[in-house]
Structure formats: C-alpha cells, structure tokens
C-alpha cells in the first residue's frame, strides 16, 4: 500500500514503468481529489533557515500518519478516506506519557485555521501528555521515532489541541525534530485563543539532518516555566517524503527511465507517475496506490473527461486490475455492451443459442444466496466474491459474483463460460450456468465442500475452533495426481488444447471426499494449432509464473507444467510460494527448495507434520517430478502425462512401503506371540 499527494492540472497521466530487470504491475489505483489548502507551498525549515518553498513542485509520499494517544482512525471516519494509525509502536518512552481522550464533539475548528480536512475530530480528541505532568519539575521529552529513507527531505505536520488544560496559557512547551529546535515556547493559547481548538504547524526537515535512517519528534516543557504544572502534548503527526525526481514517485527514476538521484527536480505541475516503489521483480507483492490529487483547476465538464491517458504495464497481475476513484473523481470503466438497451450484458442470447450452459435469472440467485448475504461468502478472489447457495430445492452450488469495478472481469467471465461449457472431466470443476442480467457477471458451479487445497496445507487460521485436519502424504499424492489428470485433459483432451495459465493451490478445489478438481478458467487460452506457442500479454500469479513465459511472452502448455511444479513443492513443504517475511534466499519457495535439494538438505523444509511418514522412494520420485517441471526452459520440461506417471509411481512406492512396514509389523508380532507361547509351555520344575 502506497499513498501520495501530488499536484495535477485537468489531466492526470499514469505510467507504470519497471526498473531494469524488474516488472511493473498494479492492483488498484484510488484517486481522491483534495482542496488546495490541504498543503501549503512553503513551510518552516529544520535546521532553522529561510522557509522551504516550492512544495507544489514535489510529489509527497505519506510514510507515517499517526493518531497520537489514541487508537486507529479508519478511512470511514476521515473525510478524505485517510487512515491514522495508533502511535504505540513509535512511542520511544511510553512509561513517560499518558493518553488523554475527550468527546470528539467538543473539538472546535478556528476560522481560517485547521479544518476537518486537515485532520478529523477523533485525531484532535486524543493526545499524549507527560505522565508526571502533575509534578513541579520535568526534565524529559515525549518522543516518537519513525524509520525513513535517507537522502530525502521530509515534510512534517504536527497537530495540537489543548484538551488537558483547565485555563488558558497553562500549556507552553518546546518542539524538537531530530534533536533540533523546531519551536521554542509554543503557547497554544496564543494560537487559538481557546481550549479544545485544533491547531497544526508544518516543517520541512532537511535530508542532511537525517543521519540514522529515522526521524525523532519530541515535545517537552519549557525550562524554568513559572507554571504550576509543566506539561507538553501532541495530538497527531504526519510525515511525508519529498520525491523530487522529474515526474517520478519513487524519487529516483523519471518517466524517461533515467536515474535522477535524490536532488533531481520537477519542472511541471502536471505530474506523470512512474516507477511505483513496490515493484520488486518476480518476488513482487500486490499493493494499492492511493493518490490524493490537488487539481490546479477543474472545468465544469471535468467529470466527462478521461483522467487516465495510459498504462504501461508489461505484466498484468492475476485477475483484475482496476481503477476506482472517490471525492468527485469518476471511475474509468468502459462499457463493452455497445448500444444495447436491454438489461442483460448481451451474452445470454449468444450463449443460449450455442447451448453453453443454463441461464439463471438474477432473482433466482438472490434467493439462493439470501440476497447475497455476507454470511454466505465462502471465498474472495480477483474476479469477485464466491457465495454458497441452494438451487432446485436444496442442491448446494458455488455462486461467483463478478465485481463491477473490473474491466478484465468481463473478459474472464466470457472466457470461463466458453471454456467450461465444452469441458467435462472428473477432475475439472463443472460449470452449471451463468447470469448476466442487469450487467451482472455471475457464474454458478458445483459446490466443492472442502474448499481450496491451500487451506489444507497452511491456510487455516490459528485458534480456529474447527481446525482443518492435516493431509497425510498419501492424500497429498492423490490430490496431486487428480490435479495432474485434470491438467493433462486440458492439454490433450480437447480438439484444440487449452492452457490454464493460473495453476496454483487456490485453484485446486477439493470435494467432500478430497477429490481434486482444477478450477478458475478466466485466464485460460486455447493452445496454438501449429506453432509451438501463442504470443500473449503475461498473466498469472506471482510465485507460480513461468520465467520463460515472462521473458518471451510466448505461452505454451509447459507454462502450466512449471506452475504445477511450484504446486508440488508447496504440497510437500506446506508454506506460501512467496513469503517476504523470510530471509532473502528463502522468499521464493521453488528457488529455495531447488537449492536445498541440490545440497541434499531438502528435509529442512518438508512439512514437519508429515516428516517421518514419507518413504524414501516416494519422496525421491516426487521431488524428481517437481524438479523436472521447474526446468528453466520449457523444452526441457516434461508433459503433464509424464508428470502424472511419475506421481502415480510415487504413490505406488508409498503404498508398497506402507505394506512392507505392515508385513514387518505382523511378522514381529507373530514372533513375539510364538516366543511368549514357548515360555508358557516351559515346565515350572524338572520332570521326574
């Protein structure tokens, strides 16, 4: 999640351009129009110097926004949909502070000063004061330390509201930033002429004052203050990084891709965005960018204009990428329905003529899901939410309702209907029907009561009152075999093969008997008839994505084979395929498992719940299959038929080992019984 404040004219152009050797992608962009007075064009400098001017020429990235002395303030409360986090993780000396809270309704905003857009009532209604404020002497400061990137100037906004004093002029204190004096003898009464009145002040901290990668904000009582109760408070804190490379939000690369360095300048108030900071190569993580946009001028017909000129995305993340907007901005969602005036999307007549599945009226699905009650939700994906419902007098089904905010979802909707309507296999999830009434995108499938495979590996929540039982090694092999059969049918069973393009453990569903079925065909593609590949924009899920497909943008059935190889290691190790919390060499499961296997240490990451239950032969054959699937080049990977054969062989080896162990146990038991019987027949004394 990244959040920026930028200046823009009537038109805002968004560009996502990867750094060298990386990829660019985005899940969502949320744009909120804000008033000009939200940020000034100048602010006081720290260390003390002439005021810092020209803030309007910078993009500001919000790094910290804290509600001091209180809990999280949610976007639902903030008029600009901002989130204010609790200050607890950043308080350097919590023992020396005491939280104070008053009724937010008592907070007032002065004319010509702070407004609710600057900060909402709950921020000013909480504060941290000195814990020993009742003593006659205090010699420490309240302190908050936040980690930041070095090499940048930072805009800092402090929010104050005297909710602790009984009378005016009781509260006078000093403010320090990185131990440099920002304000000496701040008297809130002189600023607001009232108690419980909002006030804020702004600073720009020079990059030279950041020496340890952090910003320290402190408030403390003025020395020798002739007040009976020396005290200091802080209500809210915002820190924003000044990204000053031309047209770039990462501060280093402009839209031309050239390195600008930390001192690059921006020459235009019309900002083009590039190099989103969370683009991190193949181990990239999904995120949302929020842009708080200050429009220089807004024509009356502004809402009719297209605010988004282009996206430069060489890679589309799995499922939908969308743009939504708030605060007066309009959504960029192009209709694909042309000039149709009917209530349907126009698919139903086409599909009904082709005999492609049952058509459900929208009202029938409302009844089936109790009007799409949230209690009926059994899953959420990029396409939309999945509900459990009942049709035809009690038949349980899974009902996937597409999100109206997704343009890509329409393509997935069509693709899934067309693909599944011509596919029938024991190991593929069956499509029952669909609904496109009132521009809805709803798919109805057979219900898979045991849900996605991932939940059975590591997806269940801790302290769950009904934890999911651990899958045995034999069960895991059978699930992998079933999935391989489904994929093998896709690649070879139809007149023209089909490439799934999104093979992963969340798209392998299990029925009540743990029978595996491959699901989610929204990204599927017909395999080429003659040439060995089809050129297409890269789509898939990070961690499972075939690197050759990513490099060449040429899709083959071997891309599914690679993804399935990742699934095999995920089944063996029961951990996410991408885990950014781990050391760098362990982040990517497939790479880490292959490295350990080459060193002979693969047992280190095998799921501890099944360690000791896998026969050596079965494990060797299973890992051999996974390793071949992950070959760097598709031509070196086996087909799904070969993968299936190896997995079936691994199961036979496991069953043979289990049978041998059972026979050995029986033999041992018989020997023990015979030995015990001989002892019983031994005479107690010599016969005469």
CA dihedral 471, 474, 475, 477 (to 10 degrees): 110
Give the pairing of strands 214-221 and 172-177.
antiparallel
Which residues sit opposite 221 in a β-bridge? 173
How many angstroms separate the CA atoms of 506 and 647, rounded?
Answer: 20
Shared domain check, 265 and 233: no
Task: Give the residue with greater pLDDT, 374 vs 495.
Answer: 374
Shared domain check, 597 and 624: yes
pTM comes to: 0.49
> With pLDDT > 90 as the criterion, what percentage of the chain qualifies?
43
Residue 554: per-residue pLDDT? 80
- In a domain? residue 82: no
Residues 6+ apart with CB under 8 A from 130: 96, 97, 98, 138, 140, 142, 220, 221, 230, 231, 232
- In a domain? residue 388: yes
Token code pair at residue 56: 């309007």
**24, 551, 26: which is closest to 281 by C-alpha?**
24
- In a domain? residue 682: no
Shared domain check, 434 and 359: yes
Residue 576: per-residue pLDDT? 94
Token code pair at residue 51: 């005021």
- In a domain? residue 262: yes
Shared domain check, 285 and 224: no
- 400 is annotated as contributing to ligand binding: yes
**363, 364, 368, 398: which is closest to 381 by C-alpha?**
398
Shared domain check, 557 and 468: yes
Shared domain check, 624 and 537: yes
Residue 668: per-residue pLDDT? 53
Residues with catalytic roles: 502
**Chosen domain end from 240, 270, 290:** 240
CATH classification at residue 398: 3.30.200.20
- Summarize pLDDT for 103-145 with one digit per residue, the tens: 999 999 998 899 999 999 999 999 999 886 444 444 578 999 9
- In a domain? residue 208: yes
- Summarize pLDDT for 655-672 with one digit per residue, the tens: 998 887 666 655 555 545
**Chosen domain end from 389, 414, 446:** 446
**Chosen domain end from 240, 258, 288:** 240
Shared domain check, 257 and 216: no
Shared domain check, 41 and 13: yes
- In a domain? residue 663: no
- In a domain? residue 674: no
- Summarize pLDDT for 367-414 with one digit per residue, the tens: 999 899 999 999 887 778 899 999 887 899 999 998 766 555 677 788
Residue 57: per-residue pLDDT? 81
Taking residues 2-26, report their average pLDDT: 76
Shared domain check, 321 and 178: no
- In a domain? residue 584: yes
Give the pairing of strands 384-391 and 377-380.
antiparallel
- Summarize pLDDT for 38-95 with one digit per residue, the tens: 889 899 999 988 999 988 888 899 999 999 999 999 888 888 888 999 999 899 888 8
Q: How confident is the model at residue 465 (pLDDT cuts 50, 70, 90)?
A: low
How many angstroms separate the CA atoms of 171 and 165, rounded?
Answer: 7
Shared domain check, 621 and 474: yes
**368, 511, 500, 499: which is closest to 450 by C-alpha?**
511
Range of the domain at 470: 453-652
Q: How confident is the model at residue 11 (pLDDT cuts 50, 70, 90)?
A: confident
Shared domain check, 232 and 249: no
Q: How confident is the model at residue 511 (pLDDT cuts 50, 70, 90)?
A: very high
Least confident span in 66-70, 144-148, 207-211, 323-327:
323-327
Residues 202, 40 contacting (CB under 8 angstroms): yes
How many angstroms separate the CA atoms of 640 and 488, rounded?
Answer: 5
How many angstroms separate the CA atoms of 351 and 139, rounded?
Answer: 78
Q: How confident is the model at residue 244 (pLDDT cuts 50, 70, 90)?
A: low
pLDDT above 60 for 642: yes
For the chain, how many structural domains are there in total? 4
Cα–Cα separations (whole angstroms), residue 289 to 5, 80, 171, 282, 547: 11, 15, 40, 19, 26
Shared domain check, 376 and 300: no
**64, 61, 66, 57: which is closest to 2 by C-alpha?**
61
């Amino acid at each position: 999640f990244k959040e920026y404040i930028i200046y823009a004219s009537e038109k805002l152009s968004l560009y996502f351009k990867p750094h060298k050797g990386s990829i660019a992608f985005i899940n969502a962009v949320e744009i909120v129009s804000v008033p000009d007075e939200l940020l000034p064009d100048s602010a006081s400098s720290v260390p003390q110097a002439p005021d810092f001017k020209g803030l309007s020429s910078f993009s500001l990235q919000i790094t910290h926004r804290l509600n001091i002395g209180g809990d999280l303030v949610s976007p639902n409360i903030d008029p600009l949909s901002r989130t204010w986090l609790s200050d607890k993780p950043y308080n350097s000396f919590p023992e020396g502070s005491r939280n104070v809270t008053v009724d937010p309704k008592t907070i007032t905003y002065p004319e010509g000063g702070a407004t609710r857009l600057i900060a909402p009532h709950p921020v000013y209604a909480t504060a941290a004061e000195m814990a020993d404020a009742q003593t006659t002497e205090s010699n420490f400061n309240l302190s908050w330390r936040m980690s930041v990137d070095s090499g940048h100037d930072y805009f800092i906004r402090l929010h104050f509201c005297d909710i602790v004093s009984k009378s005016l002029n009781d509260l006078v204190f000093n403010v320090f930033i990185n131990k440099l004096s920002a304000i000496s003898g701040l008297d809130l009464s002189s600023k607001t002429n009232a108690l419980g009145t909002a006030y804020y002040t702004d600073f720009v901290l020079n990059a030279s004052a950041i020496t340890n990668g952090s910003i320290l904000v402190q408030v403390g009582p003025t020395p020798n203050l002739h007040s009976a109760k020396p005290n200091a408070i802080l209500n809210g804190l915002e820190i924003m990084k000044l990204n000053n490379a031309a047209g770039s939000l990462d501060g280093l690369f402009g839209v031309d891709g050239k390195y600008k360095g930390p001192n690059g300048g921006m020459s235009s108030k019309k900002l083009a965005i590039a190099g989103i900071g969370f683009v991190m190569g193949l181990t990239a993580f999904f995120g949302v960018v929020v842009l708080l946009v200050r429009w220089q001028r807004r024509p009356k017909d502004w809402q009719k204009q297209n605010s988004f000129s282009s996206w430069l995305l060489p890679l589309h993340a799995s499922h939908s990428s969308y743009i939504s907007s708030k605060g007066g901005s309009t959504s960029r969602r192009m209709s694909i329905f042309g000039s149709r005036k009917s209530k349907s999307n126009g698919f139903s007549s086409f599909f009904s003529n082709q005999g492609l599945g049952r058509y459900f009226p929208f009202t029938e699905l409302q009844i089936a899901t109790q009007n799409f009650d949230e209690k009926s939700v059994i899953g959420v994906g990029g396409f939309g939410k999945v509900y459990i419902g009942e049709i035809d007098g009690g038949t349980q089904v899974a009902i996937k309702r597409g999100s109206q905010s997704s343009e890509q979802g329409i393509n997935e909707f069509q693709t899934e209907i067309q693909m599944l309507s011509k596919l029938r296999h024991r190991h593929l999830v069956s499509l029952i029907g669909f609904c496109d009434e009132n521009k809805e995108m709803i798919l109805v499938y057979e219900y898979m009561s045991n849900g996605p495979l991932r939940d059975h590996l590591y997806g269940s929540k801790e302290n769950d009152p009904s934890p999911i039982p651990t899958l045995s090694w034999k069960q895991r092999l059978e699930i992998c075999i079933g999935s391989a059969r489904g994929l093998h049918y896709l690649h070879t069973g139809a007149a023209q093969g089909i490439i799934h393009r999104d093979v992963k453990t969340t798209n392998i569903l299990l029925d009540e008997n743990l029978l595996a079925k491959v699901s989610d065909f929204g990204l599927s593609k017909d395999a080429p008839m003659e040439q060995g590949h089809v050129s297409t924009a890269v789509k898939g899920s990070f961690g499972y994505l075939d690197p050759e497909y990513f490099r060449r943008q040429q899709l083959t059935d071997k891309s599914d084979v690679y993804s399935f190889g990742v699934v095999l290691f995920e089944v063996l190790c029961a951990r996410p395929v991408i885990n950014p919390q781990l050391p760098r060499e362990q982040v990517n499961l497939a790479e880490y498992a292959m490295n350990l296997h080459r060193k002979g240490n693969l047992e280190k990451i095998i799921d501890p719940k099944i360690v000791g239950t896998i026969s050596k032969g079965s494990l060797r054959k299973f890992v051999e299959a996974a390793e071949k699937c992950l070959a760097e080049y598709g031509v070196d990977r086996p087909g799904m038929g070969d993968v299936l054969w190896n997995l079936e062989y691994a199961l036979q080896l496991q069953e043979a080992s289990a049978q041998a162990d059972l026979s050995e146990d029986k033999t041992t038991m018989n020997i023990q019984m015979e030995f015990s019987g001989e002892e019983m027949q031994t005479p107690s004394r010599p016969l005469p």
